[in-house]
Amino acid sequence: MKIEPIGIINSPYQVKGDSPRQGRFSEKLSQITVFDEYAQGLQDIEKREHLIILYGLDRAEDYKLMVIPPGKTKEQGLFSTRAPVRPNPIALCMVKLVKVEGNILTVKWLDALDSSPLLDIKPFLPEVDCMEK
Amino acid sequence: MKIEPIGIINSPYQVKGDSPRQGRFSEKLSQITVFDEYAQGLQDIEKREHLIILYGLDRAEDYKLMVIPPGKTKEQGLFSTRAPVRPNPIALCMVKLVKVEGNILTVKWLDALDSSPLLDIKPFLPEVDCMEK
């Protein structure tokens, strides 16, 4: 299965240590630029307050099946964690949409490193994406 | 970016019309089989009540940038919808973990068609994946 970037993320996080453990705990803004050929698909996006961003973990190390999560001392199975060292290095992050200007979205809560490849934008739907119904 | 299945999904949904519009609205069970080479990564997964499953939309049509969502009459930009016809055909679905037996997870709420390729399993973390904090 071949995956192609549909845009690029510009964020304040240049290297691994810069990014918050979860973007949710930062008010910093990131820009998501959708490539021109996909820009039409952004129509109506401004009606959505929250989005789920899928992006490529292009600088993650090779995958590991056992990891020690930050702040822990014991190894855990990878799939019980959000560690970036995954067989398919795809991250997801729920963000708040702040502004739409043409094919550029300004968002907060995104934890991507600067210049990460954008893979998809989905509307966040609380009735199916959350536990509380 | 090359993406490889890490497992396979067995669900009660054989063709497009079978699957619920959102799996959340069905109590039907699906099985997720993680391939042996990745099974070690499932350690500790039983401690998670809810998971986010990423899977490949391997039978989706070619992508469209404008779509008419079910029950609507007006076209909308693709990225403001969850339509499966995406440039990168990756679906995400929040599920409830019912049972773990070896490398097979039984879950509910999954909306995948039978034999869909599994791409990733992530723990659902309400503090970052939901709007309500």
All residues of chain A having their beta carbon less than 8 Å from the beta carbon of residue B94 are: 128-131
The number of domains in chain A is 1
**CA of B70: how far to CAs of A82, B27, B57, B74, B81, in Å?**
33, 21, 18, 10, 10
Asked, for residue A120, whether it belongs to a domain, the answer is: yes
pTM of the model: 0.94
d(CA B52, CA B96): 9
Give the CATH number, domain containing residue B118: 2.40.30.70
Please state the φ and ψ torsions of residue B68, each to the nearest 5 degrees.
-105, 110
Asked, for residue A100, whether it belongs to a domain, the answer is: yes
SS3 call for B61: coil
Residue A94 corresponds to which amino acid?
Answer: M
| Domain range enclosing A68 | 5-127
pLDDT at B133: 44
- Radius of gyration of chain A, Cα coordinates, nearest whole angstrom: 15
Q: What mean pLDDT comes out for the span B52-75?
A: 95
The residue among B47, B54, B88 with the most chain A CBs within 10 A of its CB, best to mutate, is B88
- Cβ separation of B66 and A43 shorter than 8 Å? yes
- pLDDT tens readout for residues B11-41: 999 988 777 767 677 889 999 999 999 999 9
Q: Which DSSP state fits A68?
A: -
pLDDT at A1: 84
ipTM of the complex: 0.94
A103 Cβ contact partners less than 8 Å away, ≥ 6 residues apart = A7, A33, A34, A35, A36, A39, A42
Asked, for residue B98, whether it belongs to a domain, the answer is: yes
Angle at A133 between CA B10 and CA B109, to 5 degrees: 5
Of B41, B56, B78, Cβ closest to residue A77: B41
Res. A132 pLDDT band, cuts 50 70 90: low
d(CA B121, CA A82): 9
Asked, for residue A25, whether it belongs to a domain, the answer is: yes
Asked, for residue B99, whether it belongs to a domain, the answer is: yes
Work out the percent of chain B whose per-residue pLDDT is above 90: 80
pLDDT at A133: 45
Helix (H) or strand (E) run with residue B129 in it: helix B126-129
Asked, for residue B133, whether it belongs to a domain, the answer is: no
Asked, for residue A26, whether it belongs to a domain, the answer is: yes
Q: Note the Cα B45 to chain centre separation in Å.
A: 17
Asked, for residue A133, whether it belongs to a domain, the answer is: no
Count of other CB atoms within 10 angstroms of residue B129: 23
